[in-house]
Structure 1
């Protein structure tokens, strides 16, 4: 972005515009009444990283909107109980349900699934390592995505995963040859979200909302710094000597050094200047009201919520309330965000554990236990119950039994 300010020809030289990334430096020319102005323009935008660690810090650990949205999805999805089927028959005491209810000695089922959904939302990838003891799957452990490196074979497909932790790297197979029902062989489960430019890794929703995330964090930091410095806006420092003299080189260098060290950067935003004789401060930046930081923050918050699939109404964000009421937004949240995520995970676990517990294993969420969808279930039961042309067995099948 070019600076909107141009200096006169005798300042800039040949009438060239000064770059916005640098501070304009101009010394006064000879002649009585001459002076100089130091004008601070806007620099290039700085964006945070888009890897797992950067998104976790800038998003989940620093931004309240992203933190709450990720927690809402992960906690809502982890709270939904699962059902196990072998073919069309439901099995209430299936071993796969027991494993998912207590995946390891450190985590319960809800804790395990919440962390899994969190990994998926923050990195676009989730890795599950099975612990095989005596030919049986005894435990399931999550691998932190930023510690996993995919090892490609000659054909370009993953053949293993390198997991680095505690200064040690372990290589885990991506596939197990000869694995079948009852032999206890199981490879690492890799669940990923769609990525249009990567064959092996998923894309985090926060990557798409990265610009809004940086804008929201920058607005918060700028507002905080501005308030810390008496809420004074930026501007230009103008020197107009009354006696016809100019600043000496030492005075000019000292003033420049003070400006760079004491008043540059977001940390010093709005910090008041101490002016000497002949120096005058001209406010040139837009006021906080003109820049409307609050509306910019709300717009960024709406974009973050949109990227994660959470209705802004549920996060208390004003504006864009397209839902008639809170209950409607809550149902949309489950239907459009939570349930697709659960069905994706359930399908992956069904195919993954099917080789150990039986090829006909099918895991599904128990929709009757979701309080947010109770109204829809009641309407479905009423419609099916009123259908006199259906038998009782057909009605049970129609509602998922």
Structure 2
């Protein structure tokens, strides 16, 4: 706050004729880079910068990723045999407790968080005596693809400092200790594209709006004002000593939130003209709200779930939450279950089928009950056909 206040007091060089013709005043105003001809500064599109500016310093992006990760991790994955989930086998036990260090929920929250932070998520399989015993999440910024002469990946390097581990695909069994999940990238055949990168400009605008708002608070929410010197004893201008003293007084005693409401004691010849919040400031606050909606849109989270004001897309919270589960969480979990099943089939057999247990999702209970009631009311289907249509095990009905 002191920097812009001091900069605002620095008067540009003027000719003597211009100085004499201008009304003597000391003006305080907020500067903006657009007014000075500077181009906008955007966050670099790399993992470290996006994670810092997006996840660690932006509440909207942080909450979006947490909402998605926690919701998706809460959906159980089950191993399916025909129309029934298997109660117990090695694959089931692995999915229930994939890592010995953390819980299942923490494991999958990490997996989904990495996926939305970088567009990529990596799992390492730990094999003992030919048996797959555990899975571990690997940081995506430490993974580098090893490619053949055609550009296709044949393995992965995991780099931590100066240390490097290489994971390659077994040429005989086709097994790979690394599972790579990615979000579609239109210009990259190997790595995924992060929602955080798509929302990067909106995140920068939102963060800049926070800095702007903080500046307003530090300046008692008054972005500009002017001290007009009317002149006394025949003098029309402040001397250099008077100007420096006035600048020091304003900077030290009348700026910042702690000085809000403090009376301004003026000497003879000085008149304070207060200015309210300018249209530029109001536009900046509105732009910040629009940026928050754009961030939520990139992640597929209804703004209503984030408490963003002014969004009436959904009639109520229940409909917004249902849309979030149907349009964002379920496609993500289904894709994850399918990719895990394809990867783990190398250990557990080609008939392995992993699906999301959608019946265990509380948010879809009412919708599921209505669907079952409609199915039960059908008169032209047998009980066996109804059970098959509902995805339930087919049993002999008495």
Which runs of structure 2 are paired with 1:75-86 in the superposition (5 Å)? 75-86=70-81
| Corresponding residue of 1:226 | 216
The 3 A distance-change label for structure 1 pair 318 and 154 is same
Q: Is the 8 A contact 1:84 1:97 kept in 2?
A: yes
Establish whether residue 106 from structure 1 lines up as the match of residue 104 from structure 2. Answer: no
Instruction: Indicate the residue corresponding to 2:153 in structure 1.
Output: 158
CA shift in 2, pair 1:108/1:116, >3 Å: same
Figure out how many residues of one structure are paired with residues of the other and give that number: 369
Do the aligned residues in 2 keep the contact of 1:87 with 1:361 (CA within 8 Å)?
no
1:333 matches 2:324:
yes
Tell me, in whole angstroms, the C-alpha distance in 2 between the residues paired with 1:64 and 1:229: 24
Q: CA deviation at 1:334?
A: 0.5
Aligned Cα RMSD in Å? 3.8
Do residues 46 (structure 1) and 41 (structure 2) align? Answer: yes
CA distance in 2 between partners of 1:274 and 1:71 (Å)? 50
Match of 1:33 among 3, 7, 20: 20
CA contact (8 A) 2:83 2:391 kept: no
Aligned mates of 2:285, 2:154 — CA distance in 1 = 49
**Aligned residue number for residue 190 of structure 1:** 180
Structure 2 counterpart of 1:363, from 354, 360, 383: 354
In terms of mean alpha carbon deviation, does 355-364 or 77-86 score higher? Answer: 77-86
State which drifts further: 142-151 or 123-132.
142-151
CA contact (8 A) 1:312 1:321 kept: no
Shift of 1:215: 1.7
| CA drift at 1:283 | 7.8
SS across alignment from 2:353: strand
Q: TM-score, normalised by structure 2?
A: 0.79
Cα contact 2:222–2:275 (8 A) shared by 1: no
Aligned: 1:372 with 2:363? yes
Distance 1:312 1:81 in 2: 26
Among 182, 187, 191, which residue is 1:201 paired with?
191
Structure 1 Cα separation of the partners of residues 242 and 30 of structure 2: 19
Judged with a 3 Å threshold, the aligned counterparts in structure 2 of structure 1 residues 110 and 290 are, in CA distance, closer, same or farther, namely: closer
Question: Residue 91 of structure 2 aligns to a residue in which SS?
Answer: helix
Q: Aligned partners of 1:387 and 1:359: how far apart in 2?
A: 37
1:389 aligned residue (361, 373, 380): 380
Structure-2 separation of matches of 1:157 and 1:274: 73
3-state secondary structure, aligned to 1:384: helix
* 8 Å CA contact retained: 1:104, 1:140: yes
Equivalent residue, structure 1, for 2:87: 92
Of stretches 296-305 and 373-382 in structure 1, the one that deviates more from structure 2 is: 296-305
Change in 2 beyond 3 A, CA 1:277/1:150: farther
Structure 1 residues 31 and 232: alpha-carbon distance in aligned structure 2, compared to 1, 3 A threshold: closer
Is contact 1:33–1:244 with CA below 8 Å preserved after alignment? no
Aligned partners of 1:239 and 1:278 also within 8 Å: yes
Alignment-derived partner of residue 3 in structure 2: none
Q: Distance in 2 between matches of 1:373 and 1:89?
A: 20
SS in 1 for 2:144: strand
Q: 1:201 to 1:236 in 2, by over 3 A?
A: farther
